[in-house]
A and B are shown apart, each in its own frame.
Chain A
């Protein structure tokens, strides 16, 4: 199942899931699917840290012509 959650939603769900796993409330027959889902959420969070298209955008039209500061 492809997750369309934001990373913060994925992170919250991941935290809840780990608690459920630690409490042993996930049935054994659902363990594999649960772990698969959890790993997808982990990937969403990790992507947030490293997969952003890196860019530096100067707001050229906003640059004041008066700007001469060199600090």
Chain B
């Protein structure tokens, strides 16, 4: 056996070798992050970077974000709207460092956020393409709008029975209910809450579970609202999940989403009727009912006008009939200076029956003249009265 050396001598050798090979060199690597431990107050983060091939891990190395690089994590979370946590894929700049006590580490200097964003968007596009391809009857892309069975469902004239999927005691729940209850038109609603976790790794499964419960009672609801508040870093991945998105697209009750975000729409948003916030979903429902009330008011006005018009026309026709009757009465005729000729108490209509020498009576308004016919001749032309 050769002479032993001190461990520190060996580690010094390792350190020297590594330093001479890697000193100052910066590498860009892509890896999956695991075992993430963030120390927010110290602004430090320890993790492992791993690589997988066909589902099997083929390499792993420890890595650290020191305080001077911690802002990279904050930038990642802010831009990608997802937490920096186990399972995330990142591309970053690193330096290799060996410490005799702490061993081999990668010091992370910078995260390529644009690349991560691109990867996320690519995954999203792939999910969307798969949805259209695998559910052609329920999901069609027309122009740049996704037409789904669900978002093409006709809304009832009045929305009053709402199935609400939200997190218990959450801002989203409170905002939604407050907007509904405080509506200035005093519309009333029946809200049944299906409470669950709305974010986290298995949130999409929990939301799916609630949708299945609602589907069993679909006749009880006019619409479904899936809401959550915005605010701090939110994980939108549950709402980009393929299975949940497909389920929403084919759901038999119209779904509204108000999941509070300002980046591009989630895939579930695209499959449903999307509003940005819980408050906006509630406001839209109130507005929908207000539209119905306006139509009702319009119908009432039209009905009133139609009835009034019909009555006025009937009254006018009645008045006209009365005028004609009045003008046709003998009394009115006499008052206007005409006379009635009678012979032996019968009105003479045919003048040819009157012969010279006959006694006739000429009845005027106030007097009757008795006379004997002495002469009679035909008018040369038609009397033009």
Contact = CB atoms under 8 A, between A and B. Distances in A.
Contacts of A7: 157-158
A50 to B, nearest CB: 6
Contacts of B203: 69
Interface string A33-66: 0010010001001101111111111110011101
A5 to B, nearest CB: 13
B195 interface: yes
A22 B309 CA distance: 9
A17 B303 contact: yes
A31 B191 contact: no
Nearest to B177: A56
Contact of A21 (B177, B195, B307, B313): B307
Given A21-B310, A69-B170, A62 B303 contact: no
Contact of A50 (B177, B188, B213, B313): B188
B190 interface: yes
B171 A71 contact: yes
B188 A49 contact: yes
Interface residues of A, number: 39
A51 B188 contact: yes
A23 to B, nearest CB: 9
Given A21-B303, A22-B302, A69-B167, A64 B188 contact: no
Contacts of B200: 69
B91 interface: no
Contact of B168 (A14, A17, A63): A63
B156 interface: yes
Nearest to A45: B296
Given A18-B299, A24-B310, A57-B192, A49 B234 contact: no
A48 B310 contact: no
B300 A66 contact: no
A50 B5 CA distance: 89
A4 interface: no
Contacts of A56: 177, 191-193
Nearest to A24: B310
Nearest to B192: A57
Contacts of B234: 71
A71 B307 contact: no
A68 B201 CA distance: 13
B310 A55 contact: no
A8 B195 contact: no
A62 B170 contact: no
Contacts of A57: 190-193
Contacts of A51: 188
Contact of A70 (B169, B213, B313): B169
A69 B198 contact: yes
A61 B311 CA distance: 60
A64 to B, nearest CB: 5
Q: Closest 10 CB pairs between A and B?
A: A21-B306, A69-B167, A69-B197, A71-B228, A52-B188, A58-B193, A54-B188, A63-B195, A57-B192, A56-B191
29 contacts: A17-B303, A21-B303, A22-B302, A24-B313, A28-B310, A28-B314, A31-B311, A35-B307, A42-B300, A48-B158, A49-B160, A49-B185, A52-B160, A52-B189, A54-B181, A55-B191, A58-B193, A58-B195, A62-B194, A62-B195, A62-B210, A63-B195, A64-B196, A64-B209, A66-B206, A67-B196, A69-B170, A69-B196, A71-B228
Interface of A: 7-8, 11, 14-15, 17-18, 21-22, 24, 26, 28, 31, 35, 38, 42, 45-46, 48-59, 62-64, 66-71
